[in-house]
Amino acid sequence: MGMAVGNEQGGLTNEPNVVPMIDILLVLLIIFMIIQPMMRKAIDLQLPDPTPQAGPPPANVDQIVLEIGPNMQMSINKEQVSKDRLASRMKEIYDPRPSKVLFVKADGTNKYQDVIWAMDVARGAGVKVIGVPPKDANK
Amino acid sequence: MSMSVGQSGRTTVKAEPNVVPMIDVMLVLLIIFMITVPALAAGFQAVPPEGVNLKPHPEEDSDQVLGIDSEGRYYLNKQAIRNEDLPEALRRIYDARTVDKILFVKAHRDLQYQRVLDAIDIASKNGVRVVGAISDQRPGTESSVEEDRAAAAAQTATP
CA distance A31 to chain B (A): 9
Q: Is A58 on the interface with B (CB under 8 A)?
A: no
pLDDT at B156: 65
What DSSP assignment string belongs to A40-106? Answer: EEEEEEEPPPSSPPSSPPP--TT--EEEE-GGG-EEETTEEE-GGGHHHHHHHHHSS-S--EEEEEE
pLDDT tens sequence across B70-92: 888 898 888 888 888 889 988 88
| Chain A residues with CB-CB distance to B131 below 8 A | 44-45, 47, 132
Q: Which residues contact A58 (CB under 8 A, 6 or more apart)?
A: none
Residue A138: band (very low, low, confident or very high) from pLDDT cuts 50, 70, 90: very low
Is the ipTM, as predicted for this complex, more than 0.85? no
Residue pair B82/B41 in contact (Cβ under 8 Å)? The answer is no
Minimum Cα–Cα distance from A44: chain B residue: B132
pLDDT tens sequence across A22-45: 888 888 888 877 765 567 888 899
If residue A20 lies in a helix (H) or strand (E), which one and from where to where? helix A19-35
Radius of gyration of chain B (CA): 25
CB atoms A39 and B110 under 8 Å: no
CA distance A6 to chain B (A): 21
| Chain A residues with CB-CB distance to B132 below 8 A | 40, 42-45
Q: Is A132 on the interface with B (CB under 8 A)?
A: yes
Backbone angles phi, psi at B6, to 5 degrees: 65, 25
| Chain B residues with CB-CB distance to A50 below 8 A | 124-125
Measure CB to CB from residue A108 to each of B49, B112, B130 and give the nearest one. B112
| Chain A residues with CB-CB distance to B112 below 8 A | 108-112
Instruction: Look at A37-41, A50-54, B65-69 and tell me which has the smallest mean pLDDT.
Output: A50-54
CA-based nearest residue to A66, from A116, A9, A8:
A116
